């Protein structure tokens, strides 16, 4: 073999090796980022800089996540250990099971009884549906023993009952047809128990419903932020792992995660969603995600949980760790100034809801804005 042929063979080998390396690099570059096979066992907390703002340094994002915000969280490892050792050790409040009907958002018909009735009889006489049209329908009784209004229960006795129909929800305001059906259902229920209903005047209740619906429509805030990949896409497992470090847990639906409230029975503070088809794929690790969305139902979360602050800090931390940028619904980059303006607007909204006795996160607010 001549020297020329030798050099040509060497050069050909180098070119071939370069092509193989380039193809391997492109393949690796296009492959979605995967979850760490050995994730940390406990979730760190969101870091804060000296000026009180979330830290954006890499060391801070790795060392800190959610527990220092408003003294709201419990270390996950400690929580798990406490739960296994003693379910009652957490001493968390139970969901509110008291009566919910309120003249602020319900049309209420008082039912006077000839004599007290048992809870078993009330339950047997209840209408088969808990809705009239698109509005929730409910019955409550005044417990003779406790003298408190409650959802009828077997084994109790009630001297007075009341039936209520919600005036408005996200499906719109109560209309005349729905109100007429409510009157018919209430009268049939009362007759079965030997009672007489005192039904409010339809015209006044429908007018109240329209006014309440106008207020609710003008103050029903639902916020979202989208995190978009800068270059490399993400696998569902990678997204779930990064969100899990912030305290997010799997939701009921595929492709959804939630940040639970610190109070048992309350709505989740935040939601996170991504392509459900990617989550259901036969090999999710090969599914490529380029966007995830953080969402906040403002009216469903108590303002003292500082939900927007949690949302902003979670978004910034995820953007840094996952290599993404934050955009709004219009696809524009979200600036710090824009987020500050949103925070200020939310305070005005909270104050308006408080003044109307429909505070964000309250039972009435969750019912109205649903």
Are both 243 and 326 inside the same structural domain?
yes
**Count of CA atoms in the C-beta half-sphere (13 A) of 104:** 16
Q: How confident is the model over 72-89, as pLDDT tens digits?
A: 333 333 333 333 333 333
**pLDDT for 260 beyond 60:** yes
Kindly provide the residue ranges of all beta strands, DSSP E only, lying in 174-214, ordered along the sequence.
195-198
235 and 360 housed in the same domain: yes
75 located within any domain: no
Tell me the Ramachandran region of residue 210: left when phi exceeds 0, alpha when psi lies from -120 to 50, beta otherwise. alpha
Q: Is residue 297 part of a domain?
A: yes
Within a domain: residue 238?
yes
**CATH number for the domain harbouring residue 198:** 3.30.1400.10
Same domain, 172 and 271: no
Q: Beta strands 172-173 and 135-143: pairing type?
A: unpaired
Residues 268 and 135 placed together within one structural domain of the fold:
no
Which residue, of 192, 215, 238, is where some domain finishes? 215
Cα distances (angstroms) measured from residue 222 to each of 93, 225, 299, 352: 27, 11, 8, 16
Q: Which residues pair with 141 in a beta bridge?
A: 150, 161
**Is residue 292 a part of any domain in this protein?**
yes
Residues 115, 201: Cα–Cα separation, whole Å: 26
Q: Are strands 157-166 and 222-229 parallel, antiparallel or unpaired?
A: unpaired
Residues 229 and 362 in one domain: yes
- Biggest CA pair distance of the chain: 117
Count of domains for the chain: 2
- Residue 2 CA to residue 280 CA, distance in Å, equals 60
Among 186, 215, 244, which residue terminates a domain?
215
* CA–CA–CA angle 212, 216, 221 (5° rounding): 170
Of the CA atoms within 13 Å of residue 193, those in its CB half-sphere come to 33
By three-state DSSP, how is residue 264 classified? coil
- Separation CA 359–CA 266 (nearest Å): 14
State pLDDT tens for residues 107-147. 999 999 999 999 999 999 999 889 999 999 999 999 999 99
Predicted confidence band of residue 16 (pLDDT cuts 50, 70, 90): low
Percent of the chain predicted with pLDDT > 70: 73
Dihedral, CA atoms, 338, 342, 348, 353, nearest 10 degrees?
170
User: Tokens 């996200």 appear where?
Assistant: 170
Please tell me whether residues 178 and 298 are part of one structural domain.
no
Residues 184, 323, single domain; the answer is no
Instruction: Tell me the C-alpha distance between 91 and 89, whole Å.
Output: 5
Whether residue 204 is contained in a domain is answered as yes
- Candidates 298, 315, 309; CA nearest to 362 is 298
Smallest Cα–Cα separation from 217: which of 153, 187, 173, 266? 173
The verdict on 171 and 308 lying in the same domain is no
Per-residue pLDDT, 138: 96
CA distances to 304, 305, 335, 346, 347 from 360, rounded to whole Å, are 9, 10, 26, 11, 11
Average pLDDT over residues 1-7: 64
Same domain, 357 and 223: yes
Q: Are residues 134 and 264 in the same domain?
A: no
- What is the rounded average pLDDT of the residues 293-312? 97
CB 56 within 8 A of CB 50: no
Sign of CA dihedral 22, 236, 79, 320: positive
The pLDDT assigned to 273 comes to 95
Q: How far is CA 294 from the centre of its chain?
A: 10
Where in the sequence is the domain holding 186, given as residue range(s)?
106-215
Regarding whether 173 and 158 lie in a shared domain, the answer is yes
Determine contact, residues 366/300, Cβ cutoff 8 Å. yes
In a domain, 70, yes or no: no
Buried b (16+ CB within 10 A) or exposed e, 333-352: ebeeeebeebeeebeebbee
Percent of the chain at pLDDT exceeding 90: 65
283: pLDDT strictly greater than 90: no
pTM value is 0.73
pLDDT recorded at residue 46:
39
Residue 158 lies in a domain: yes
Domain for residue 301, yes or no? yes
pLDDT tens-place string over residues 136-190: 999 999 999 999 999 999 999 999 999 999 999 999 999 999 999 999 999 999 9
Any residues with CB less than 8 A from the CB of 270 and at least 6 apart, and which? Answer: 248, 258, 259, 294, 295, 296, 307, 310, 311, 314
Domain end marker among 215, 247, 268: 215
Name the helix (H) or strand (E) containing 226. strand 222-229
Q: How far is CA 226 from CA 54, 114, 318, 333, in A?
A: 19, 59, 11, 10
* 290 and 181 within one domain: no
């Amino acid at each position: 073999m001549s020297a020329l042929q030798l050099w040509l063979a060497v050069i050909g080998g180098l070119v071939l090796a370069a092509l193989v390396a380039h193809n391997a690099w492109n393949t690796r570059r296009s492959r979605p980022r995967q979850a760490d096979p050995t994730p940390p066992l406990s979730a760190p907390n969101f870091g804060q800089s000296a000026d009180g703002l979330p830290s954006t340094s890499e060391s801070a994002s790795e060392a800190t996540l959610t527990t220092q915000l408003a003294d709201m969280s419990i270390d996950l490892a400690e929580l798990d250990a406490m739960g296994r050792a003693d379910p009652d050790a957490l001493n968390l409040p139970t969901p509110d099971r008291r009566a919910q009907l309120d003249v602020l958002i319900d049309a209420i018909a008082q039912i006077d009884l000839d004599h007290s009735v048992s809870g078993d009889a009330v339950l047997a006489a209840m209408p088969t549906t808990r809705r009239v049209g698109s509005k929730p329908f409910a019955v409550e009784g005044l417990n003779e023993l406790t003298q408190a209004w409650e959802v009828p229960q077997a084994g109790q006795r009630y001297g007075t009952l009341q039936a209520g129909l919600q005036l408005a929800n996200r499906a719109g305001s109560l209309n005349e047809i729905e109100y007429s059906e409510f009157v018919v259902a209430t009268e049939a229920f009362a007759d079965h128990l030997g009672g007489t209903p005192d039904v409010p005047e339809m015209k006044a209740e429908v007018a109240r419903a329209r006014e309440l619906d106008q207020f609710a429509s003008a103050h029903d805030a639902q916020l979202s932020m989208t995190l978009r990949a800068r270059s490399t896409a993400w696998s569902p497992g990678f997204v779930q792992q990064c969100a899990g470090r912030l305290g997010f847990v799997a939701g009921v639906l595929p492709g959804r995660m939630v940040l639970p409230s610190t109070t048992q029975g309350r709505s989740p503070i935040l939601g996170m969603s991504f392509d459900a088809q990617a989550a259901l794929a036969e090999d999710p690790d090969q599914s490529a995600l380029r966007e995830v969305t953080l969402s906040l139902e403002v009216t469903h979360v108590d303002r003292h949980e500082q939900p927007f602050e949690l949302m902003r800090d979670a978004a910034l931390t995820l953007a840094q760790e996952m290599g993404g940028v934050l955009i709004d619904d219009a696809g524009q980059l979200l600036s710090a100034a824009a987020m500050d303006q949103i925070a200020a607007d939310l305070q005005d909204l909270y104050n308006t809801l408080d003044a109307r006795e429909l505070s964000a996160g309250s039972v009435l607010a969750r019912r109205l804005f649903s």
